[in-house]
Amino acid sequence: VITPGLWLAWTVLHPLAHQAALQAVAWGWDHWPTKQRSPVAVVVGTGPSAQRTARALRRLHGAQARSFLGWINPHANEGWSATPPRASCRPSRRLGGLRELERLLKTRGVDEVYFCMPPGDLNREALARVWRAIQDSTVTVRWVPEVWDALVVQGQVSTLEGMPLIGILETPFTGSRAAIKRLSDLVLATVALFLLWPVMLLISLAVRWESPGPALFRQKRLGARGEVIEVWKFRTMSVMEDGANIRQAGRDDPRVTRLGRWLRRTSLDELPQFINVLQGRMSVVGPRPHALAHNDHYRGLVMAYMVRHKVRPGITGWAQVNGLRGETDTVDKMSRRVEHDLYYLQHWTLALDLQIVLRTVGLVFRDAHAW
């Protein structure tokens, strides 16, 4: 017999269990040891992109493992040119010039070639000769664009009427990833509100009883794509600041009420934001939203500060579970928080979200950075 409780449990847990199973299969496929020979890879180029590509190839393991053979210097006729490459390009990995690449292609000594250089760096004759050798082989060719030291978030390749487009600063939540993220938000927020509504009711009554004023504090913050949203919290202060000049709450701040101090330390003041999640303004996990005045202050001081607003802000985030919760009264603290937010955008998975949620629950009972 299907009871209402069983139906609710199936509705809530099935999507999460299904996605967790998919993640486990994908992880196992990528990490399962294989007896097959790892593809041999060479990198054409000696610049920053070539160095990063080589490091990434050496870090691959399991089914994705590559045997990195070395670098090809596209500007050398025989051996290496007079201009020395970077120190990290070890002599034992310096294979030679383009003629050596042609030899490797003919002898089937290489399976993958990564071009890490602008196409214009090769003259037409050299490019035509190399391309003929490539087409006369079974090698896989990939081009790694030189993006200097640009920040890359969700880099991907798409097409526009057949023309290749290389995405550098993309939102990580598009297509199926966006659907998975939104579905997980709806499930987690619904479960949280179902379980915690008695606690939220008691907190709201206690806030109204302790000091005059509303139970909820509403403040303007920046949401996804930099749009202004309204974020809800239980009121923890005797003031309702939401203007051009806002002072962050510090330790032993006299504006914080006695109940508010406990609510802030346990993060229970953030519970109304689960309603913001259902409204579509926020996500359960994501970069924490800052007051508009703080955004205006730090966006000119911290590199890539506004990139964190490419996604919905979160009730909790990667920065918060790594000791960067609380007051950001220095540029260095804000820089470290932004650095962690960008890491989250670059490495998002549903498993990472669940890890952050579980670590956040643990911080409710112990967090030296909460006040």
Contact in structure between 167 and 158 (CB atoms under 8 Å): yes
pLDDT at 371 over 80: no
CA–CA dist 242, 167 (Å, integer): 36
Instruction: Kindly tell me the burial class for residue 17, based on how many C-beta atoms sit within 10 Å of its own C-beta (0-12, 13-18, 19 or more).
Output: exposed
Q: What does the pLDDT look like over 268-277, one tens digit per residue?
A: 999 999 999 9
- From residue 57, how far is each of 39, 67, 96 by CA, in Å? 11, 8, 19
CA–CA dist 309, 261 (Å, integer): 28
Binned at pLDDT 50, 70 and 90, residue 28 comes out as low
At 219 the three-state DSSP class reads strand
At 246 the three-state DSSP class reads coil
Which pLDDT belongs to residue 5? 63
Q: What does the pLDDT look like over 228-284, one tens digit per residue?
A: 999 999 998 876 655 555 566 555 566 788 888 888 888 899 999 999 999 999 999
Contact in structure between 328 and 289 (CB atoms under 8 Å): no
Contact in structure between 211 and 197 (CB atoms under 8 Å): no
CA–CA dist 88, 41 (Å, integer): 18
Binned at pLDDT 50, 70 and 90, residue 42 comes out as very high
Give me the mean pLDDT over the 18-40 stretch. Answer: 65
- Least Cα distance to 339 among 318, 357, 325 occurs for 318
pLDDT at 78 over 60: no
- Least Cα distance to 143 among 157, 160, 125 occurs for 157
Binned at pLDDT 50, 70 and 90, residue 314 comes out as very high
- Residue spans of alpha helices (H) in the chain: 4-31, 48-59, 98-106, 124-135, 175-210, 258-266, 273-279, 292-298, 331-347, 350-363
pLDDT at 103 over 50: yes
Task: Find the length of the chain.
Answer: 371
At 69 the three-state DSSP class reads strand
Residue located via tokens 């939203």: 289
Which pLDDT belongs to residue 252? 58
Neighbours of 158 (CB within 10 A): 10
Contact in structure between 61 and 32 (CB atoms under 8 Å): no
At 159 the three-state DSSP class reads strand
Average model confidence (pLDDT) for the chain?
Answer: 81
CA–CA dist 271, 177 (Å, integer): 25
CA–CA dist 81, 96 (Å, integer): 9
